[in-house]
Structure 1
């Protein structure tokens, strides 16, 4: 059972200037922490507050309750997808390579801009 179509009462006050991918990453991190069955709630709250800043205990309880309603989440699937993407990127780099172009004129100009030591008498 997912939460689609439901308006959760718990919302975190995240900076409005955050880009969408940062907000999504923060939400993923919070959800991953909430779904970690090996952690105690106190530790989960501390870890979440490292991402979001301080949150009241009542709001944390609402987040825990909402996370329990999410049944189609599996952190291992997400990390496996990230690993697969990294592996494909590495294969592309090895197979195709990355072109590096050096500008000789730029290097010569930088060398000419060096300092000159002059002895004063």
Structure 2
């Protein structure tokens, strides 16, 4: 694997960590305190400079109320990962809103396929 690919993956994971942290209403400081690490360590993970270990991913997921796989697949270009992300978003909606979103996606997909 090239260094460029590794950097892009680290940045994608970092963006996911930042997103889930913000969604959980946490600051970098509160995450650092919960994990017993420095604020700079959290900042480096979020910027994609440092890649968290698998154990650290599980700790972060527990803090944020998500699954570790969410931190790895958010922002992925793989269809299965994107499907999983869409499924999670749709699951939060009621039936009527899900129908609306699916309809909009169908229309957009048909238009883009032309």
TM-score by length of 2: 0.28
Q: Relative CO higher for 1 or 2, CA cutoff 8 Å, sep ≥ 6? A: 1
Q: In proportion to residue count, which structure has more helix?
A: 2
